[in-house]
Amino acid sequence: MKTENYMNKIAVTLPGGTSVTSPATGFNNLGDLFSGLANIAFSIAGFLMLSWFAWGVFQYIFAGGDKAALEKARTRITWAVVGFFITMLAFAISQFAEGIFEQVNPTVTPVSVPAP
């Protein structure tokens, strides 16, 4: 019987059956943990942005010429687009920072101490 350690994996299943998991099979350090959490956070933010945008489009379509409803729909669509750009900016910054920290913190090969 195979047992798995579920504390080492982060996964989220979004509506529609899309599964988002962390890239690492286990977390060896704090950077891997943050990377996995960031991937999930960006996926959730993208899903929320698309649903907010779709909600605004449906409000716009079904406004029926009501000026207040049209303005409310335009505002919702505008904030969805602003949220998209903020999410993309945060993603770009995180990728840039990841590249910098990979250069600063090179991989270290573990050394074993010989037995006396």
> What is the model's pLDDT at position 92?
87
Number of structural domains (the chain) is: 1
Burial class of 109 by CB neighbour count within 10 A (0 to 12, 13 to 18, 19+): exposed
Please write the tens of the pLDDT for every residue from 34-69: 777 888 888 888 899 999 999 999 999 998 888 999
Query: Which residues form the domain of 81?
Result: 8-103
Residue 116 within any structural domain of the chain? no
Residue 61 within any structural domain of the chain? yes
Residue 84 within any structural domain of the chain? yes
> What is the model's pLDDT at position 40?
86
Query: Which pTM value belongs to this model?
Result: 0.58
Residue 29 within any structural domain of the chain? yes
> What is the model's pLDDT at position 54?
93
Best CA proximity match to 32, nearest among 4, 10, 6, 5: 10
d(CA 52, CA 30): 32
How confident is the model over 77-88, as a mean pLDDT?
91
Higher per-residue pLDDT: 76 or 110:
76
Q: Which residues pair with 113 in a beta bridge?
A: none
Residue 92 within any structural domain of the chain? yes
